[in-house]
Structure 1
Amino acid sequence: MTARSPLQNKSFRQLFIAQIIALVGTGFSTIALALLAYDLALNEAGRVLGIALAIKMVAYVFFAPIIGGFVHRLPRKLFLILMDVFRAIVVLMIPFISEIWHIYVLIFVLNLFSAGFKPVFQALIPDILNDEKQYAKALAYSRVAYDLENILSPTFAAIALLYLNYAGLFMINSLAFLISAIIVFGTLFPSDKTTERSGNIVEEVSFGIRSYMKTPRLRALFILYFGIALASSMIIVNTVIYVKDYLYLSDSTVAVLMGASGLGSMLIAFIYPSLNEKMIDKYITQFGVLILALVMFLMSYEPIYLFSLLVWFLTGIGLSLSQIPSGKIVNMSSSPSDRAAYFTAQFSLSHLSWFFGYLLAGQLVFIFGFSFTATLFSMIVIVCLLFSLLIWPNEENNKQMLHTHERFTHSHTHSHEDDHHEHDHDSDNEEHSHDHEHIAVTHEHKFFIDIHHQSWPK
């Protein structure tokens, strides 16, 4: 642990542990939900699960920003505890449902509460960690916590299914949420701040998405994420169909195959730092997507258990290679003051990709079969990779970029500590706001889309 590790802060450490426990529990429910869908819908389970997970994405993409816009009006500790308790109650209700539409309703409600966690957690981190470097590391740790659900949960679920049925997995998830609530209750929170907002959240989300799409490397990353989402959706949505209807094996095999994918992902997580010393993130990401295209094609082959284990393992490797660098790519594309807006855009757009991925994976396998869908997805992933090769700029010479500013006048909060605000008046270097003019200038520096740079240089 380094001297500047955010984990040295007790409040952040407790929140981080609570988040990990809740996420691992959610991973148990993901596998249990697949088995429940098969019990209710049999060969239509992939379609049912695809719709359910698409509903989850609706809650994440559309309701997380709304919750983030209103949660500052509520006591944050009470809000987090209530979200955990409500999720625990909803999860306990799932094993008792008897109709497919019940799945859709409860999944929406469950993930509506889950969507409340991310904006609250993001809002707490800068209040708890005042140091910018600690805050940057905390953002990275938060991403690792979300990855843990995919890496560790299937392995634990496979062990649990040796002794329990899938209803037991839902109960474990409910217990995880309650433990998380207890940890949050015992965490010291900073004082809630009185803040007035008038469309600020909407403006920030809009700015982040517009800036994201104006940045060439991020446009390429977004296109790649559609291919990543298709490959990931084949694993999450259709593993249960593959095991039950093609391999004719037991419930525990579903968790074993998902665990194989998690093992491949975990392997890359361990070797990524050394790999990154030899390859830049652009090439690591594109190589991961290439692996995904190949394994999607291999999924179309005759189903054999041991061969399937290898394919699912390689899929985990491809998913990890293509997703781990994304946080760094978004971070290098944004200024510190705009980083939250860019990460919000990445969260929304990537989950939008999963929204379509879940729907396509479930519907196409139901209509055309597993082999056809895997082959089609392989071709789409290749097309996404080719587009990224065309529009992702050369990263070797991107540290400094020569560009020209036109003369313009505007007003916003600023200080005089950067090259864009060298003007004279009575105020000192403290932040302030007034109308000020920027003269026409050509200069060179690390380039981001922000309030002073509205388009990418030709």
Structure 2
Amino acid sequence: MESSLFGNRDYRHLFAAQVVALFGTGLATVALGLLAYELAGARAGVVLGTALAIKMVAYVTIAPIAGAFADRVPRRLFLVTLDLARAMVVLALPFVTEVWQIYVLILVLQSASAAFTPTFQAVLPDILPGERDYTRALSISQLASSMETLLSPVLAAAVLSVVSFHWLFSGTTVGFLASAVLVVTSRIPHARPSARTGLWERIAAGTRIFLATPRLRGVLALDLAVAGAGAVVMVNTVNYVHDALGLGDADVAVLLAANGAGTIVVALTLPRILDVVAERAVMVTGALALSGGVFAAIGLSTADGGGWRWPVALGVWAVLGAGAGLVLTPIGRVLRRSTREADRPAIFAAQFSLSHACWLLSYPVAGWVVTATGFTGGWLTLAALTVTGTLAAWLLWPRHDPEALPHVHHNLPDDHEHLTGAAPTSDGGWRHTHTFTIDPHHRNWPTPHLGARR
């Protein structure tokens, strides 16, 4: 990556905050599974499943609410407060004695994360205004997430070799506290306040922008494709390795590593590709790779046996990781050019919420349908979700997608400042062309050729 990116002190500190918080969360995930087993024994899977469901519900519901207030409070103070809240919750987890206490603490923890992540994402465009630096920051962020998935279990195993798993919660607490310190030492500009005043209008703003913007409708469809294919990896890898391939825990780690390696390769190479290839082409290609990967997995699930399945599975999981990287890495660029600066907290919160709503749909399929019908039946259902998302993105996101669009205003007074330079139309409106985003002056997308009638 270019030195100019890490030469930015504020970005350097925020990236370090993201990394330590990510690894802290990874340690907590391992520790939570062991804590659930300690409290519930054979019912540990039910406890973890409920905890994950609570996490997803919090992500879907809390993120838009947080996005509605993120421009009303100092963002640095907001992020630090959320880090401290997460640190206190994790510190309390080793002392729980009842399963219901886990659920309450997980709700608080994940609600804080649901507010932290989109706020953090919305800060990056403000401290990295250059397109190249911002693109590289997105790739590095994706790389950090993938590395956390690969290395957190290894780090947890090293810690558990010398101390009790309860100490993993201490490591997580240290991670969140370190993240808070790094955020405090960063200069984060205040968000530009949104012109929207009503509470519900602010909460729903990001979702409304998503549904009204063609390219963002395409992004939402791609979120569904990622969730459909990703559930195969996230939910079914352990059972596939043990039950279908007859291999052990170490092989589970290797297969997950293959998936992460696919994402890492994409994260390292994509910035240069995005300099010359449009986001739509890259992301739709990623969705096609996801679709092909799921169908290849279905083919593996129908095979009766043979040593060839293991190397093929490694390749398939790597393709699924690469496809996810191709879709997820450019999303921040698309969100940034699809909204005004004042709406960035809302749009990043909406992406966070809507994408996790897709996971809330695919996770039960991977868990319940695969359990009831086997790998082939469950993965066919997930393939249907992935293909549906891919086709919908192809149709909803226009191939010709310029930022500046001609449109006509009918609802603004003739002396309104927004109409400076606009030309009158025969029906009493004002026509002009500029970078178009959904906002209080532009509530509908322009009709092709004619322009929006506002």
User: How far has the Cα of 1:208 moved from its partner?
Assistant: 2.7
Q: Alpha-carbon deviations, 1:110-143, whole Å to 9, x = none?
A: 21222342365467668x84xx826x77865774
Give the aligned partner of residue 398 of structure 1.
402
Cα RMSD of the aligned pairs, angstroms, is: 4.1
Q: How far is 1:212 from its partner?
A: 1.8
The alpha carbon displacement at 1:273 in A equals 2.8
Gaps of 5+ in 1: 424-437
Give the alignment of 1:56-455 within 5 angstroms: 56-67=55-66, 80-92=79-91, 94=93, 103-118=102-117, 121=120, 129=127, 133=129, 143-144=138-139, 146-160=141-155, 163-165=158-160, 167=165, 170-184=169-183, 187=185, 199=197, 202-277=200-275, 279-300=277-298, 301-302=300-301, 304-395=309-400, 398-403=402-407, 405-409=408-412, 419=421, 440-455=429-444
> Take 1:310 and 1:76, find their aligned partners in 2: how far apart are those partners?
42
SS in 1 for 2:158: coil
Q: Secondary structure at the match of 2:62?
A: helix
Higher mean C-alpha deviation, range 60-69 or range 285-294: 60-69
C-alpha change, 1:169 and 1:306, in structure 2 (3 Å) is farther
Matches of 2:62 and 2:69, distance apart in 1: 11
- Give me the whole-angstrom Cα distance separating, in 2, the residues matched to 1:123 and 1:386: 29
Please give the per-residue CA displacement for 1:167-219, whole angstroms capped at 9, x wherever unaligned.
3655543332232234345x1657989x9999556423423322221222221
CA distance in 1, matches of 2:356, 2:176: 23
Change (3 A) 1:6 1:269: closer
Q: Deviations over 1:369-418 (max 9, x none)?
A: 333211221122112222222232122x6355443x24323699x85695
SS, match of residue 350 in structure 2: helix
Instruction: Give the C-alpha shift of residue 21 in structure 1.
Output: 1.2
Q: Distance in 2 between matches of 1:145 and 1:173?
A: 22
Counterparts of 1:354 and 1:6, CA distance in 2: 32
Counterpart of 1:147, as a letter, is Q
Q: Note the C-alpha offset of 1:76.
A: 6.3
Query: Number of paired residues?
Result: 433
Query: Residue 13 of structure 2 aligns to which amino acid in structure 1?
Result: Q
Corresponding letter in the other structure for 1:17:
A
Q: Distance in 1 between matches of 2:434 and 2:406?
A: 7
CA–CA distance in structure 1, aligned partners of residues 148 and 412 of structure 2: 53
Please say if residues 157 and 169 of structure 1, whose CA atoms lie closer than 8 Å, have aligned partners that are also in contact.
no
> Counterpart of 1:408 in 2: which secondary structure?
coil
Stretches of structure 2 lacking an aligned partner (at least 5 in a row): 449-454
What fraction of aligned residue pairs are identical, expressed as a percent?
A: 36
Question: In structure 1, what is the equivalent of residue 452 of structure 2?
Answer: none
Q: CA deviation at 1:281?
A: 1.8
Q: TM-score, normalised by structure 2?
A: 0.78
Contact preservation (8 Å) 2:118, 2:352: no
- The residue type paired with residue 364 of structure 1 is V
For residue 217 of structure 1, what is the amino acid of its counterpart? R
Query: Match of 1:163, SS?
Result: helix
SS at match of 2:219: helix
> Is contact 1:28-1:153 (8 Å) kept?
no
Code of the residue aligned with 1:451 in structure 2: it is P
TM-score (norm 1): 0.77
Structure 1 residues 119 and 328, CA gap change in structure 2 (3 angstroms): closer
- Contact 1:158–1:256 under 8 Å retained in 2: no
> Residues 260 and 161 (structure 1 numbering): CA distance in 2 closer, same or farther, change over 3 Å?
farther
Q: Distance in 1 between matches of 2:35 and 2:316?
A: 25
Offset of residue 86 of structure 1: 3.8
Q: In the alignment, residue 159 of structure 1 is paired with which amino acid?
A: V
Aligned residue number for residue 429 of structure 1: none
Q: Give the partner amino acid of 2:355.
A: S
